Amino acid sequence: MKLLHTTLGALALVVPLALTAPAAASPAASTATATATAMAVAPPNIPLANVKAHLTQLQTIATANGGNRAHGRPGYLASANYVKGRLDAAGYTTTLQSFTYNGATGYNVIADWPGGDPNDILMTGAHLDSVTAGPGINDNGSGSASILEVALEVSRQALQPSKHLRFAWWGAEELGLRGSQFYVNNLPATERAKIKGYLNFDMVGSPNAGYFLYDGDNSDGVGAGPGPAGSAELEQTLQSYFASIGVPTRGTDFDGRSDYGPFIAVGIAAGGTFTGAEGIKSSAQAQLWGGTAGQAFDPCYHRACDTTANISDTALDRNADAVAHAVWTLGTAVPPVTVWSDTFETSTGWVTNPDGTDTATAGLWERGDPEATTSSGAKQLGTTVSGTNDLVTGRTAGSSAGANDVDGGLSSIRSPAITLPASGVLKVSMSWYLAHGSNSSSADFFRVRVVGSSSATVFTQAGAATDRDGAWGTASADISAFAGQSVRIVIEAADASGASLVEAGVDDVKITQQ
């Protein structure tokens, strides 16, 4: 794990509920009743001895090459060749991707397991390089060895995943995420779009270990904010493993210190585990996890003593199994069935002011090609998530940002009737934004309700007395309580603060069944 000396730009997504990947365009108002019956394959237990055998090999390589496995040094290329050789023998299609940094050649090892949906890639990565000061067995031989053994187990079991599985070992992470940045920068946009999730494992055997998960929904962190859409699902999958073995976890921010950085910067969902670096374990953390309060999670961080003796077997074993749990659970999951969707490219029968109780005098919901407005930043977005049209509060820009925004109270719009299947986990998801000026308050809101034999509010974003620019986010909610019913989706926006500037938009609404 590199030293923190750069900060990634703030992410634009604001997602208060469970996250999903941006919805792809699909036929409007389609219906389906098929039920996904296949189950995910049970994750294996990864033998600790196998993972430690890889660490011994990395230590031997470092010892034979000046005591390190750093970028541009012979110990790094030997490490890359060791990993590639094991993967080649296991049936992977591997690539040694070269790049240049600081006048030296670096390498990423990229390994693809045959099969799975090529348009739905689950990628798992760890950096393989060390600092020049030491062999880097915890940082990050531990992550590299763990994902290598998981990749080899995929081969032993001849796994047939639903997603396409890709593993990566990054070079020059310690010099600023150079290898992973090179990889992401050189992927065509169409190839980037195929990567639906990236799992990162950097330092997973710290001797004074904590159990941290990258905080996909920002439920624990207050710093860098949530990850891109889909990150919460990755976090929850890893959390479910640790919960199953009775180990509490805590969130750690996406602060730019490891190879998830280039992925989240281009909107790819990310997650992973981390057992701590040079940070000091608090008394509360020692009570939670054991170990020594007042001491670094890894006292040998970036030092010559980061050897095979600098590993917690317990932490390494648990984290290797967590990697396998995530790869198997996510990689073999049956994709959800789309029950109904609307991209708003054609009219499907949404009705404005369906109950005849709206009070807004301007900025009424409508379907169309939106025009952008600005007022201390973007307010109404002129872009959509897919296609040309979306649902928007007052499509035209008008003479000023305040001309066609929501004014005078509530504006609502209701979907056509949707028949839900009687079984399975049902979720509604959508892309959305709420924008407002600093004259807003919590009385203003964007809200989504589902109305069937009963009614439930499934999403709310309140206004606040601060300037909020428009930015597309993605949210989802479980609506299984409405299974078997005919329902309608009601979307509302309100200016209830007295002439405050309020804009809202919705695109790509979808209901799925798992």
Give per-residue burial for 349-368: e unless 16+ CB within 10 Å, then b. Answer: ebeebeeeebebebbbbbbe
Residue pair 485/441 in contact (Cβ under 8 Å)? The answer is: no
Q: Tokens standing for 354?
A: 């369906």
Residue pair 165/122 in contact (Cβ under 8 Å)? The answer is: yes
Q: Are strands 212-214 and 270-274 parallel, antiparallel or unpaired?
A: antiparallel
Residue pair 483/420 in contact (Cβ under 8 Å)? The answer is: yes
- Alpha-carbon 188 to chain mean position: 20
Q: Which of 290, 301, 108 is nearest to 208 (CA)?
A: 290
Q: Which of 7, 178, 47, 156 is nearest to 107 (CA)?
A: 178
Contacts of 394 (CB under 8 A, 6+ apart): 362, 363, 364, 366, 380, 404, 405, 406, 503
Contacts of 434 (CB under 8 A, 6+ apart): 445, 446, 461, 463, 468, 470, 493, 502, 503, 504
Preceding omega of 68 cis (within 30 degrees of 0): no
Q: Are strands 337-342 and 270-274 parallel, antiparallel or unpaired?
A: unpaired
Catalytic residue among 149, 153, 173, 235: 173
Judge whether 173 counts as a catalytic residue.
yes
Q: Are strands 212-214 and 250-252 parallel, antiparallel or unpaired?
A: parallel
Active site residues: 173
